[in-house]
Every structure is written in C-alpha cells, then in structure tokens.
Structure 1
C-alpha cells in the first residue's frame, strides 16, 4: 500500500515537472522574442554596463523609453530563465531517475549561464561578433531545453519503440534526415544572425525575385548581397528537405499520429517563415515583422528538433 502511494506521488511529481519544463520553454521563447526585438531596433548597447543597467536593477526611465525597456526587459527575462533552469535542475536531481535526462537539464543550465556571460561580454567589450554568437547559442540552448521538455513529457513515455529490424532502420532514416534539417536550420540561423547584425537584411530589397527586372539573381554582388542570397538559397533547400521529410513521416505506418501532427505543424511554420521573410522586405524591415521572423524560426527549429529527438528514444531507453 505504501509502495502504491509512493509510486502515485512520484508520478504526480513527474507530471508537474513536465509542465514546469514546458513553462520554462515558453518563457525561453519570450526571451528570444525580446532579444530579437532588441537587436532589430538597435538597442543592444543602450546600457554601457553589465550586469546592472546604468548601475541599477531598476534604471530610471526604462519603462518609458523603448530602447531601454527592450534591453532591460531582455536582461530581466534572461535572469528569469536562469532562475527557472536552476529550479529545473534541482527538481530533476530530486525526482528523475533517467541519467541522460538529468544531464540534459544540467547542460541547459550551463548553457544559459554561458549565454548570460556572453551577453555581458558583448556589452562590456563592445564586440559585434559576440552579439552574433549570442544569437546562435540561444538556439542551441532552446534545442537543449526542448529535448528536456520532450523527454519529461507523458507523450515521450507513451511513444512506442520500433518493433523489428526494418522498423528500426526506418526510425534511423527519419532521425538522420531530421538531424540534417536541424543542422541546416542552424546554419540558416547563423546566416540570419550575421545579416541582422551587419544590416544586410535589405541588401536585396525584392522578393521573391532578387532584382528589379524579375531575375532570381542579383544584378550586382558584394558581401551583403552574397550573404542575403545565401540566406534565401538555404531557405529553399530547407523547404525542399522539410517537405520530403514531412511527406515521408505522414505516409509511414511506423510513425505515431502525434509525430505526424508535429510534422504538419513544422510544415505550416516553414510556410509562415517564408511569408514573414517576405514581409521583412515588403515592410522595409519593420520591427514587429522582423522579430516575428526570428521567433517563428526558433519555434520551427524547436518542433523539428522535438520530432528528431523522439527518434532517439530507442538509443536512450533500450528495453531491459
């Protein structure tokens, strides 16, 4: 009887833990939006000091000045995510028996600490390259936290392992294809981060073509147009690969209905991403459209990685 009560208590703790992981993931997405908006309006250096803002936790005028509100709000959200990750690690240490999941949560905490220090160094050293790295490592942190949220979820526990060698080979294929898409998306994020910080977003001010005569190639080439064109080209490759992956997932009878729904969501998101990218051009880089492009890209990466990570379950939790 006592054992039944203990199991019930542990199960309840894990349900709450799974919900907490999802909450931390949502707050992280808000942090990414805040960081993207700060970069878009050029407010990253509005405070010359760090970790305080003008020497204060509550700098005068920050609630009425857009640039100060964007940067200080970004810092406050970053601190909030850091605290959430500390609580997450302690909770995992107390109730989670799976070593790989505990290690992932510790890795997430390490990344968010590194991310905070990186942001501080960018301000103190006035280094634009650190700003680019700060934007990219944020996505690595997001993927780590996504894996923690997926691994702690009831959905993961219900996910059936492949039965038979043929099924395992199919899962390995889907896993490898997903990894390729996620890695290519990371490359795309690097290109996007460089574009944003170097002001190359409108170096090709046309969409979907790249020149006023309707050509898909720019009339002239320089570092900015090359970067912009590379960003567009990689987007096309990701779209083609993602479409093929989604079709294969939906047609497979070895994939659960929930994974197929996630795949459809990823397909919708990549189309939204293309539309938002066009909106950046058509609105001459309006702050909201530009930041939504960053946020939607992060959500797309998170969902694509969640699908990919689910195919790692046979390797992480082999039946005894």
Structure 2
C-alpha cells in the first residue's frame, strides 16, 4: 500500500472544497437544463462547436445568421414560425447558458485536477476516481449533443429517450462527485455487505429510477396533462395506460402511463425513505426523508399548477437534492463507524 505524504494530507480540505464547488455547479447545470426544456430552447443552437461555440453572437449579422440556421429545422417551421428575432434571442440565451456552463464545469474539473496532480497533492487511491469524473463529464457533453441532434431533422423536440439518458447521467455525475467529496480523508468505503448497506444502495437506486422517469415526463411534456391529484383523469387507475402496442412502449411513449409511473414511484420512494429513517434513525436518514417528502409536495404543487417555469425548475433541483441526500445515506451506511449509529428499539438492528 502506497504511503500518503504530508503534502497530500494537507491538500485534502482544498480538494474537498473543489469537489463541493463542482457539485454545486452540476446542480445549477441541471436546473438550467430544465429551463431549456421548459422554454423549448434546446434546439435554438443547431451546431456543436466545443470551442468556438463558447462565443455567442456579437453583432446583428451574427444573430441573423444564427436565426437563419434555426429556421431550417422543423421546430421553427411547425411550432415557432413567424417568431421575432427578440423571441429567438430569448431561447438562444437559455441554450447558450446551458452549454457555456457545461464548458465551465469542464474547466473547473480539469484545471485544478492537473494542478493537484502535477504537484503530487492527490493521494493515489483518489486519482482514478477523479479521472473517471472528468471522463463522465466529457461523455455527458457528447450525450447532450446526441440528444439535440434528435430534434433537428424529423422532430420538433428532442427524443424523450435521449433526454432521460442525459438527465440520468447528470444525476449520476452529481452523485459521484458528492460520493467522492464525502470520501476525501475517510477510510475507503466497500460494497454493501449487510442489510443496511443494501437498503441504502436500493434507496439511492430507486431515487435514480425516479429521476429517469422524470426525464420521460419532461421529454413527453406529460406533466402538462392530467393536472389533478390524487386522482388521475378522475380515476385511481386511469383507462388508456396500456393502449399502445407493443405494451412496453406505453412506459416510454404514452404520456398518461409515464406520468402515472412517476406518481407511483414517488409513493414507493416516500415509503422506503420513511421505513429506512425509522430503522436507522440517523441524521442522514432523516435528511433524505425530509427531502423526499418536500419533493413529493413540490411535485404535486407543480402538477396542479400545470408546470410553471419556477416550480418546474424547483422540482428538478429538488430531485438533485434528494439524490445527493441518498448518496450521503449510502456513504454513511458503508462507513466503518456505522456500529456507533443510533438504532430504533422497535426492530432488531440490521446486522453486519
């Protein structure tokens, strides 16, 4: 085992602060990404220029050229035909901000990493994790463009499959950064080896599934319909859930089924979070339960209000907070100091 140097030990607080800042930027990135979806801005920039794309149109001629390119895609001719240049600028700036923030996050991850690595301030076990985070960021950028491409030829919006994948990967990246930040200066965590560890892992996986389901809701604008609760279309089990053939398509392409699934998974997440908090009785477990309950309430409010921009963005940001809390719970469950946690006397403690 490679010994840690004093320089690496002293660098831990700075590396931890760097990672928490990166996590915050990813959190903001997800919210801005939600705004591009809710304002239908994602297709306003029809080219992918990783370097030159960081420079927005600077002159009236530049704006007109960008507008002319937008006029060539179906979204303009079928949805926004006749929009003014000022209206185009509004959607352009949202998409530009989303892409610029992605580039900025790349710099925030790469430049400090190179500095810490070149000056030998990164402990050996941490280096592969940081490299993986950077590679995931690059993959996310490519996936974002792959998503945009789906709406430039035969559609007026992006594919819900690609949007859900893009959102899910962003959530995974956020969770990976939070996990890594929590682990700086602590004993390495191990795969789940007992019921508590598996329960925490299962809760985090379930929340990630719910985020993916939310991506399909956003991709199909499924939240714009059936704006009642707790009944949906006046029923507990609305008709038409499995109207498409083959049946599997309903879970990804039927707006009614997609919204119904999102509701159902939310109830399951809330129940599992409550049971986990009851069993474990730790600060992290209570935090994730509170976050889940607030997110459920916010989701219902957003649905009843027919997804206004501010509530839609709050709901998307809330999902990231819930998942980050679940990562905290999982990190706590796999901690070597877990035996010191407080347990409820109602049940037998989950053993190793």
The TM-score normalised by the length of structure 2 is 0.73
Unmatched segments (≥5 aa) in structure 2: 64-84, 152-157, 244-253, 337-352
In 2, the alpha carbon distance for the partners of 1:63 and 1:16 equals 43
CA distance in 2, matches of 1:301, 1:232: 17
What is the TM-score when the length of structure 1 is the normalising length? 0.80
From the two aligned structures, give the one with the greater helix fraction: 1
Q: Of residues 181, 185, 190 in structure 2, which corresponds to 1:149?
A: 181
Distance 1:180 1:55, change over 3 A: closer
- Segments of structure 1 that go 5 or more residues without pairing to the other structure are 1-5, 162-167, 251-259, 315-320
Alignment of 1:82-97 (within 5 A): 82-91=106-115, 93=117, 94-97=120-123
Once the two structures are TM-superposed, the CA of residue 69 in structure 1 deviates from its matched residue by: 1.9
Alpha carbons of structure 1 residues 307 and 96: separation in structure 2 relative to 1, 3 Å: farther
Cα pair 1:263 1:307 within 8 Å, conserved: yes
Any residues of structure 2 matched to 1:162-311 within 5 Å, and which?
A: 172-212=194-234, 215-221=235-241, 222=243, 223-250=254-281, 260-311=282-333
The Cα of 1:236 is off from its aligned counterpart by: 0.7
| Shift, 1:235, TM fit | 0.8
Identify the residue that residue 118 of structure 1 maps to in structure 2: 143
Question: CA offsets per residue over residues 157-209 of structure 1, 9 Å max, x none?
Answer: 6x9x9xxxxxx99x732211011111111211111111111121133221122
Q: For the aligned residues, what is the CA RMSD? A: 2.9
Q: Secondary structure, in 3 states, of the residue corresponding to 1:285?
A: coil
Tell me if structure 2 keeps the 8 A contact 1:82–1:109.
yes
Do the aligned partners of residues 172 and 242 (structure 1) sit closer, same or farther apart at CA in structure 2, a change above 3 Å counting? same
**Residues 56 and 149 of structure 1: CA distance in aligned 2, closer, same or farther (over 3 Å):** closer
Contact 1:181–1:238 (CA under 8 A) maintained in structure 2: yes
CA contact (8 A) 2:8 2:123 kept: no
Deviations 1:98-152 (A, max 9, x none): 41x3222111101100001111222245351333321111111111111111112
Q: Give secondary structure in 2 for the equivalent of 1:201.
A: helix
Deviation at 1:39, TM superposition (A): 1.1
Q: Deviations over 1:196-223 (max 9, x none)?
A: 11121133221122233xx422254352
Structure 1 residues 69 and 173: alpha-carbon distance in aligned structure 2, compared to 1, 3 A threshold: same
What is the number of equivalent residue pairs in this alignment? 286
